[in-house]
Amino acid sequence: MKKVISTKAAPAAIGPYSQAIDLGNMVFISGQIPVNPATGEIPEGIKAQTAQSISNIKAILAEAGLSISNVVKTTVFLADMSLFGEMNEIYGTEFTEPYPARSAVAVRELPKQVLVEIETIAVK
């Protein structure tokens, strides 16, 4: 059975989707853009945006009773692949071994013209 996970500690969905869906043993977290849920502001620069996106993911994981160590797969969407190195610096400080499986792709455009969006799958 699907259970919706929602928290005010992460940005609200800006469309017809859930922040996350809990399937009992797995949690699927929608792509998180770097919006500060308290202020609605978007930090400048890829490093700060990556950190904010991961902070939003951590808030949703916490609402589901999980932590970043439960993440098994991420997909990173970048506004430009030239941002990969700096994104990866921050990403590498947040995730520890064994690292989740990951895909990273450049896309034409992201919501609110942000530089990064990260979606995750976690297991209990």
State whether residue 61 is helix, strand or coil: helix
Position 15 confidence tier, pLDDT thresholds 50, 70, 90: confident
Report the DSSP beta bridge partners of residue 3. Answer: 22
Q: Return the number of other C-beta atoms located less than 10 Å from residue 75's C-beta.
A: 15
What's this model's pTM, rounded to 2 decimal places? 0.96
Domains assigned to the chain: 3-123 (3.30.1330.40)
> Which residue reads 């869906």 in tokens?
21
Q: State the average pLDDT for the chain.
A: 97
Residues 6+ apart with CB under 8 A from 110: 33, 77, 79, 116, 117
pLDDT tens across 61-72, in order? Answer: 999 999 999 999
> Which residue reads 């922040």 in tokens?
19
Average pLDDT for 88-107 = 97
Spatial distance between the Cα atoms of 106 and 111, rounded to a whole number of angstroms: 14
